[in-house]
Amino acid sequence: MADLSYKSLLETNNYLRQLSDTTYWLCITRTVQESKLFPMNPYMLLSYLNTFYRLPTQLREIDAATPAEELGDRAREVSLKVDTVNAAWGMPAFYLIGREMLMNWGLLGPADAVEDVVDVLDFSRRFNLAYHRNDGHMTNKEFGDRSQFLPERTLQVFESDLHGVVPGDRLHTAATKLVAQLSQYAFLAHCECRIGLHNSGPYNFGDNRQLIVRDFFELTEGDYPWLDGIATQLPFGNLTIPIVFKDTNFNLMDDWASFEAEPSYDASNIAAVGMYTSDALTDGYQPVGMENAEKLAETMESYREILNAATADLWKRIAGWSREQMIDAGALVYSSVAKDFAHLAGTYRQDDWFQLDDRVQRFKPLMNDEYGRDDLGEMVGLLGFPHQKTSEYTMARYSGLNQNMLTGVPYSVLTDDDFAPTAGSSLSGSSSLDPKTGLWTTSAGRLELDEYNRRARGFTPSAQAPEFRYLDEEWVKRHYTSDRANALYELAQRDSRTLQGKGAGLLRADLQGNG
């Protein structure tokens, strides 16, 4: 499938270099992450290798069913796990970091797997361009560490429907406690990594207020086998909590969905909150408990209770795992960051995403805690792998040194021929974890996988229908009085408590909400 041309390689290397610089910056602004519970660094290294061997094959099937740019359109309208940290950054970065490991071991040359590299980055670029269509950037870093992918029609519904709060009232307390519980649970369910959390924004809400959108994914039975039987009273797998802050400027929202604010995050500055769910089967954001402030507080309190119990249940389950089970679970959490593309496309198979490939299993004996920690540190912090050095005259963007985290594809592949173009499409592997036996939690209820895939294949959100798909805000700017624009806006307003049927002509002054 790969187009091996000078143009495609130029584009590939351009994107690869941007990822290299951005990922280095993201890494050096953190310390090495370790956990007393999970052998994190060993599992991270294995996950990168698993991504290298499996992702090209996985993405080719997905892309054939639903092109990457269409998946970007889907992800842009709602909060799905194929988001900034999972899909926009993690998916291509993990793949390329796995490539670096193999290259450093002398098991791969820079020209090998070139077709895979081109395909993975082409998929990722098309997804990112569509996902970020509203702000026109490829990454948050390119946009000055901002993330503003939602359209006006969605933000207007948020602004109008969110419920105002003041510190100490029932909803303010319920919201802050639920967000804390969700954060805690998401770290645990994701084996200590942050990919179950997502933040985007900020969006200007006027009157010195800004909105950030906080997302929490994979909260109950779904793809992770260790969540079978956990938090099953929770009706949804994903929750989105838009939060409006007053007097707080969110000056950084990076590609790991971390935020910084001035003054720093302070729950007492929260002015309004709401709650929604979305997944591969929802037509936009679906409000959860949004009828009134009391109902929302009650819903948040009950979800918090469920998740508080689920945290203890899950912690006890995980605390009984062997080292290999912890490593397999963590590695599969990371190497499956793109799995929700398969859910959107209706091509999801459990063994594709939740087995550690045979080609990866052979490296496990190397992965003691110290090697995991130090090899990761060498690769993404010190950039100490011999092949990561470049000409002595170069000065990298953030370090000023002659080094790159990620190695480019040599253009010689266009004329030379001693390289292996692909890692192949045959997947076999295993896992030490208990197999998945539970159902999949969706907005359409708890489903068997075949039914979930069948519904996903047959579903197109209304805003992605052919008559609406290309109507962006450059078009809305001059057509907001048209029937077509009204119909587009009314799609987002269908489930709104306050804006149903109001159409496309609204400005902030017309909104009567609490947000």
50-109 positions binding other proteins, by CB under 8 A: 103-109
Given 7, 168, 400, 418, the residue binding other proteins (CB under 8 A): 418
Choose between 127 and 216: whose C-beta lies nearer to other proteins.
216
Choose between 105 and 305: whose C-beta lies nearer to other proteins.
105
Binding piece for other proteins, criterion CB under 8 A, among 218-226, 264-272, 273-281, 347-355:
264-272
Does 417 sit near other proteins (CB under 8 A)? yes
Rounded least distance, CB 419 to other proteins, Å = 5
Rounded least distance, CB 186 to other proteins, Å = 9
CA distance 128 to 143: 13
3-state secondary structure at position 62: helix
**Which helix (H) or strand (E) is 392 found in, with range?**
none
Q: Which of 179, 190, 184 is nearest to 337 (CA)?
A: 190
Q: Which of 150, 111, 511, 90 is nearest to 341 (CA)?
A: 90
Rounded least distance, CB 179 to other proteins, Å = 6
Hey, which residues between 184 and 223 contact other proteins (CB under 8 A)? 184-185, 187-188, 191-192, 194
Rounded least distance, CB 134 to other proteins, Å = 27
Choose between 153 and 359: whose C-beta lies nearer to other proteins.
359
Residue 213 structure tokens: 């959108």
Choose between 28 and 427: whose C-beta lies nearer to other proteins.
28
Q: At what angle do helices 114-131 and 6-28 cross, to 10 degrees?
A: 70
Rounded least distance, CB 225 to other proteins, Å = 18
Hey, which residues between 290 and 319 contact other proteins (CB under 8 A)? 311-312, 315-316, 318-319
Q: How many residues make up the chain in this entry? A: 515
Rounded least distance, CB 304 to other proteins, Å = 11
**Which helix (H) or strand (E) is 262 found in, with range?**
strand 259-262
244 touches 205 (CB < 8 A): yes
Given 410, 444, 446, 462, the residue binding other proteins (CB under 8 A): 410
Rounded least distance, CB 125 to other proteins, Å = 25
Choose between 64 and 312: whose C-beta lies nearer to other proteins.
312
Given 17, 170, 317, 389, the residue binding other proteins (CB under 8 A): 389
Binding piece for other proteins, criterion CB under 8 A, among 12-20, 386-394, 437-445, 481-489:
386-394
Choose between 154 and 199: whose C-beta lies nearer to other proteins.
199
Choose between 232 and 422: whose C-beta lies nearer to other proteins.
422
Given 208, 249, 322, 500, the residue binding other proteins (CB under 8 A): 322
**What's the number of CA atoms in the CB half-sphere (13 Å) around residue 182?**
29
* Distance (Å) of CA 401 to CA 227, 388, 393, 405, 415: 44, 11, 9, 11, 31
Number of residues that bind other proteins (CB under 8 A): 89
Hey, which residues between 446 and 505 contact other proteins (CB under 8 A)? none
CA distance 147 to 139: 8
CA distance 348 to 341: 8
Query: Which residue is listed with tokens 């907005």?
Result: 443
Rounded least distance, CB 93 to other proteins, Å = 18
Rounded least distance, CB 84 to other proteins, Å = 16
Hey, which residues between 227 and 256 contact other proteins (CB under 8 A)? 252
Given 8, 183, 302, 399, the residue binding other proteins (CB under 8 A): 183
Does 400 sit near other proteins (CB under 8 A)? no
Binding piece for other proteins, criterion CB under 8 A, among 63-71, 152-160, 163-171, 260-268:
260-268
* Distance (Å) of CA 26 to CA 29, 189, 260: 5, 23, 13
Rounded least distance, CB 349 to other proteins, Å = 23
Hey, which residues between 30 and 49 contact other proteins (CB under 8 A)? 30-31, 33-41
285 touches 78 (CB < 8 A): yes
CA distance 125 to 131: 10
Choose between 362 and 457: whose C-beta lies nearer to other proteins.
362
Query: Which residues lie below 8 Å from residue 510, measured CB to CB, with a gap of 6+?
Result: 502
Does residue 263 have a cis bond before it (omega within 30 degrees)?
yes
CA distance 258 to 266: 15
H, E, C per residue of 122-158: HHHHHHHHHHCCCCCCCCCCCCCCCECCCCHHHHHHH
* Distance (Å) of CA 14 to CA 7, 8, 11, 406, 489: 11, 10, 5, 11, 37
Does 173 sit near other proteins (CB under 8 A)? no
196 touches 218 (CB < 8 A): yes
Choose between 279 and 375: whose C-beta lies nearer to other proteins.
375
Residue 258 structure tokens: 């971390």
17 touches 404 (CB < 8 A): yes
Given 305, 416, 467, 483, the residue binding other proteins (CB under 8 A): 416
Binding piece for other proteins, criterion CB under 8 A, among 59-67, 160-168, 347-355, 387-395:
387-395
Given 6, 7, 168, 386, the residue binding other proteins (CB under 8 A): 386
**Binding map of other proteins across residues 356-385, x = CB under 8 A, - = no contact:** ---x-xxxxxx-xxxxxxxx-xx---x-xx
3-state secondary structure at position 214: strand
Residue 265 structure tokens: 């995050």
